[in-house]
Amino acid sequence: MDDFFELIAKRESCRNYSEKKVEREKLEKCIEAARLAPSACNSQPWSFTAVDSPEFAPQVAKCLQEMGMNKFTDNCPAFVIIAEEKATLSARVGGKVKNQDYAPIDIGLATAQLCLAATDQGLSTCIMGWFNESKLKELLDISKEKRIRLVIAVGYAVDEELRQKSRKSLEDIARFM
């Protein structure tokens, strides 16, 4: 069990990638980990587009850089784009009854598993929500009807030394009754 908590502690948002190519097998394992994530009513409201070609990765990076954001992605060799798919009928009905949209929660769970799988394989990630969605859809031939929810930078960190995590204390976020 300690290995799991060590893995969690090692996962951080990387903003300095080496130009080393990410092995396709490692990207596949990351997506497989995301595929196995829990989802409401087993809806699995997600699809993943992995971009690791020298032709497309720099173009994806440019789609993430509006208003001066995410400049670090210029050196990132791979990305995973996560699009929201239509949830199953039971998940949509359950969501309406409970006034809860489960798809974003499910996508968050899949994203976490993808990033932990990357960390376990010696890769680094950064989860981004700032991007030009229409340009990404056009570049990657993703249907206009779909929503791109997140883009994950994936690669090898230049600096492997972990930063100190700054998090709220357990007492500030949890109650035990």
The confidence score (pLDDT) of residue 82 equals 98
- Indicate whether 86 belongs to any domain: yes
- Per-residue pLDDT of 96-146, as tens digits, reads 888 888 899 999 999 999 999 999 999 999 999 999 999 999 999 999 999
- Indicate whether 176 belongs to any domain: no
- Indicate whether 90 belongs to any domain: yes
- Indicate whether 172 belongs to any domain: no
Q: What residues contact residue 135 under an 8 Å CB cut-off, 6+ apart? A: 62, 63
For the chain, list residues with pLDDT below 70.
1-2
CATH number, domain containing residue 71: 3.40.109.10
Range of the domain at 91: 14-158
- Indicate whether 152 belongs to any domain: yes
What's the pTM?
0.92
- Indicate whether 165 belongs to any domain: no
For the chain, how many structural domains are there in total?
1
Six token digits for residue 81: 């784009």
